[in-house]
Chain A
Amino acid sequence: NAGVTQTPKFQVLKTGQSMTLQCAQDMNHEYMSWYRQDPGMGLRLIHYSVGAGITDQGEVPNGYNVSRSTTEDFPLRLLSAAPSQTSVYFCASSYSGDGTDTQYFGPGTRLTVL
């Protein structure tokens, strides 16, 4: 199993540009989520999904969109990039997300918005 994969690994955008961060998992996990990690602040939840066709907002959803058309994929879209979105983004998945199972994280995407 490849586990959780993310692409790209690095990305530089200009303010106002849009882009999609890709996330895929091959473990047949129902629960997937996106986090951003900023220095001194820990990981913060952006959006999450409990299954295909179902998504919900996390702690910091503004400026981001998600969709979940398949169990395997959970892309994160930046609608109009802002310097405040400079961060490292992690995708994670777990079997059910009910609090008893482990979340597995991808390697991250380092995004810089100029």
Chain B
Amino acid sequence: EDQVTQSPEALRLQEGESSSLNCSYTVSGLRGLFWYRQDPGKGPEFLFTLYSAGEEKEKERLKATLTKKESFLHITAPKPEDSATYLCAVRSNDYKLSFGAGTTVTVRA
């Protein structure tokens, strides 16, 4: 059974204080690892897809990386508008998407 574990559960940062979120996974054949952002009361919003170990993707202050067992979402010099819950998900060979419980990031000005 595919498993996705995200850590930490919550992260409180000062504006400008860089940090990283972890997503560790076990999956029978990785077809893709996805990062989403979710704001309170809204649906998840797509950020990145990573397909193979060593791959990296960037968007503004966010950078996602992938190894064979985990993915990191690095937040560089965060701003208060980066406050959200960040979700990691993996899709395996049976095409089903398995989600982690998420990391809630709060950035204080």
Which A positions have Cβ atoms within 8 angstroms of B? Answer: 4, 33, 35, 40-45, 48, 58-59, 90, 92, 97-100, 102-108
Contacts and interface: CB of A to CB of B under 8 A. Distances in A.
Contact of A100 (B32, B36, B43, B101): B32
Interface residues of B, number: 24
A90 B4 contact: no
B55 interface: no
> Which secondary structure characterizes the binding site on chain B?
strand
Given A99-B31, A99-B91, A42 B99 contact: yes
B52 to A, nearest CB: 12
Contacts of A102: 34, 46, 49
A43 B99 contact: yes
A98 B31 CA distance: 8
Contacts of B51: 100
Interface string B1-22: 0001000000000000000000
16 contacts: A4-B43, A33-B97, A40-B101, A42-B100, A42-B101, A42-B102, A43-B44, A43-B99, A90-B43, A90-B44, A97-B95, A98-B95, A100-B51, A102-B46, A105-B43, A108-B43
Contacts of B101: 40-42
Contacts of A98: 31, 95
Contact of A42 (B46, B49, B87, B91): B87
Contacts of B61: none
